[in-house]
Amino acid sequence: MKVLVNATSARLGGGVTVLKHLLPALLAEDGGEHRYTVVARSELRESLDPHSDRASFLAAPAGAGAARRLVFEQLALPLRWADVLIAAGGVASFASSAPEVLLIQNAAPFDADVRARAPRWRRARLELLRTLVAASARRAARVVFLSESARATIAPQLGVLPERCACVPLGRDPAFSPAAGAERPPIDGDYVLCVSQHYHYKNLPELVIGFARAALPAEVRLAIAGEEHEPEVAAEVRRVAVRCGVAERVLLLGHVDQRRLPALYAGARAFVFPSTCESFPNILVEALACGAPTAASRLGPMPEIAGDAALYFDPFDPDEIGAALSTLHADGELRASLRAKGPERVARYTWPATARAMLALLREAAR
């Protein structure tokens, strides 16, 4: 079977992380039966090329423009023959004759609150993407969701039959484990950690307010690791930190290399995840795998993933965020309990299991 992977929309964050691990896992689990062509931005070759004689990398046209990318995947990709196509960005190649397996990774277009809170031009983009994904799902052979929460909330908006939908949770990098605690963390002293790109639905300003209201010693800092993808969100985080009098205690780390993240998670006194909208948050899984005592938003798939290995709060309520951080800081027994529960809870998420489930769906679609 020849598999074409349309990854032209992958640029940063979870979308790249998923493909970086999924492609080698497919090669390892398919019994040597299949060949793969990965189509993605040329700058992602090093990250996404599986370096196998059964896989090849095809660079999409240079340039970041969404319109140019859309034209390429609608007009050029269908010319490449394949038995089955993986639409990793959730948008089908409508002229392709190959059956398609649609991977729904981005939940934001299907969250009414996220759309309402977005700036006008981003709202329009989310609405367009929602329309394209819905049209893609109606012609796809299979539609794959990454969590049961995502399937329950998004599938009804797509208008597809339940039997064409599947849930395939993602795996985790084995580098994220309790063993990371043996490494020296890159930050000295006690810190609360959040790892997140700066998007408006990640609720980082609310996190800063909650941190300021928490009953924490003055030496405890809040470290936020992640690229400032939406500059206006990063600017608001800084304004809120100044207004709340904690600017000196809030560390904006920017991009942190993947190799440094395990020790960063393991060294945190608490990990906090205030996002309001997720499909399958790799970051939450990574933190739990490293044994970080975790407080998370109670929305979306977070309780499905973390279970009793985390405290939960309303991400729109800074007082609840602050109370959760206060509890984690003060209760040593609770921290120890969560450190033990986290790795056990996420041990079920492995890339071989993800690859086997995806291969079954690809074979069904190609029949």
Kind plus residue range of the DSSP H or E element containing 272: strand 270-273
What is the pLDDT confidence band of residue 13, given thresholds at 50, 70 and 90? low
Q: Quick one: pLDDT at residue 42?
A: 77
Q: Taking a C-beta distance cutoff of 8 angstroms, is the pair 38, 11 a contact?
A: no
Q: Which stretch of DSSP H or E encloses residue 85?
A: strand 84-87
Domain 178-346: give its CATH code.
Answer: 3.40.50.2000
What is the structure's pLDDT at 62? 63
Answer whether CATH 3.20.20.10 is correct for domain 2-170+350-366: no
Cβ pair 137, 160 in contact under 8 A: yes
The residue type at 147: S
Residue 73 predicted with pLDDT over 90? no
In what order do the strands lie in the sheet containing 35-40? 55-59, 35-40, 2-6, 84-87, 100-104, 142-145, 165-167
Is pLDDT at 296 greater than 90 in this prediction? yes
Asked, colleague to colleague, whether 2-170+350-366 and 178-346 share their fold, the answer is yes
Q: Taking CA 62 as the corner, what is the angle to CA 57 and CA 63, rounded to the nearest 5 degrees?
A: 135
Predicted confidence (pLDDT) per residue in 131-144, tens digit? 999 999 999 999 99
Q: Any idea where the domains of the chain sit in the sequence?
A: 2-170+350-366, 178-346
Q: What pLDDT was estimated at residue 78?
A: 66
How many whole angstroms separate alpha carbon 88 and alpha carbon 6? 6
Its pTM stands at 0.92
User: Would you state the pLDDT for residue 18?
Assistant: 86
Are 235 and 264 within 8 A, CB to CB?
no
Rounded Cα distance, 293 and 272, in Å: 9
Share of the chain above pLDDT 90, in %: 74
Question: Residue 64: pLDDT above 60?
Answer: no
Cα–Cα distance between 319 and 209 in angstroms, integer?
8
Nearest to 223 by CA among 244, 181, 192: 192
- Which of the four pLDDT bands, split at 50, 70 and 90, describes residue 57? confident
**Radius of gyration over every alpha carbon of the chain, rounded to an integer in angstroms:** 21
317-342 mean pLDDT: 97
Least trusted range by pLDDT, from 113-122, 195-204, 262-271, 286-295: 113-122
The β-bridge relationship of strands 294-297 and 270-273 is parallel
| pLDDT class of 58 with cuts at 50, 70, 90 | confident
What are 214-249's pLDDT values in tens digits? 999 999 999 999 998 889 999 999 999 999 999 999
Q: Answer with the residue of higher pLDDT: 233 or 63.
A: 233
Q: What is the pLDDT of residues 143-158, one digit of tens each?
A: 999 999 999 999 999 9
CA end-to-end distance (rounded Å), the chain = 10
